[in-house]
Amino acid sequence: MKRSTLLTAGLLSLAPATAFAHPHIFVEARLEVVAAPDGSIQELRNVWRFDEVFSSSVVMDFDKNTDLKLEPNELAEVGKTVRDSLADYDYYMNLTINGKNITVQKPDIIHVDYKEGQLLMFFAVKPVEKMPLKGKLTFGVYDPTLYTSIDFPTDNELATVGDGFKACKHAVVRPDADEVISENKQSLTDAFFNDPTGTNMSKLFATRLEVTC
């Protein structure tokens, strides 16, 4: 239980509500949206690189033999913990097709590595229902509690893969926080910043890939 405490608490924001106003974990991410041969979404490939402070905490929590590094079996346990813990949060995936929210299946495995003081996770998820490349589709990754900041350093980190996207237009949208707040004053209440259960309103701030076919 102790080894799973940090990832569960950190990634699921099980901390005092006063902490939710700003992120405590920082992730640099890459998302590849892959088209299937039949013209639908096949899978979404994720790469997450965690900040050094959180990464070192994970090492302390999962380093069974106290050699200050993570062995393959210890890395596997980190991946299993995240795979089990983030299921209810849909692995922070935010997918829509023509305005309809789409959830994702549980990934087969979350691969974990530890390099140069940073924890890395690699995993792919598939939509629970078919997402044909028709109309407007959006793809993003965000933590609804705002405890984890997920950032795409460049627009190239939100990519499409496959011939199915050739007839589509795509753009990376990076919302301006001040504009979002100004346009949603009636909705963004104190509860939004302090509710430990999270709120879907946070997706208004999230970087996303918009695809129109």
Name the band, by pLDDT with cuts 50, 70 and 90, for residue 207: very high
pLDDT at 24: 83
pLDDT at 29: 98
Q: Is 138 helix (H, G, I), strand (E, B) or coil?
A: strand
Task: Render 19-86 in DSSP notation, one character per residue.
Answer: GGGS-SEEEEEEEEEEE-TTSBEEEEEEEEEE-HHHHHHHHHHH-TT-SSS--HHHHHHHHHHHHHHT
**6-15, 36-45, 165-174: which range is least confident on average?**
6-15
Measured CA distances, 2 to 8, 13, 73, 116 (Å) = 10, 16, 16, 25
pLDDT tens digits, 139-158: 999 988 778 889 999 999 99
Range of the domain at 20: 2-212
pLDDT of 103 > 70? The answer is yes
Domain count, the chain: 1
**Interval 114-120 mean pLDDT:** 95
User: Pick the residue with more confidence: 145 or 12?
Assistant: 145
Angle at 27 between CA 25 and CA 32, to 5 degrees: 150
pLDDT of 98 > 90? The answer is yes
pLDDT at 166: 93
Do 54 and 26 form a contact (C-beta atoms < 8 A)? yes
pLDDT of 4 > 50? The answer is no
**Interval 122-129 mean pLDDT:** 98
Measured CA distances, 191 to 155, 162, 178, 202 (Å) = 31, 41, 18, 12
pLDDT of 199 > 60? The answer is no
Strands 41-50 and 25-35 turn out to be: antiparallel
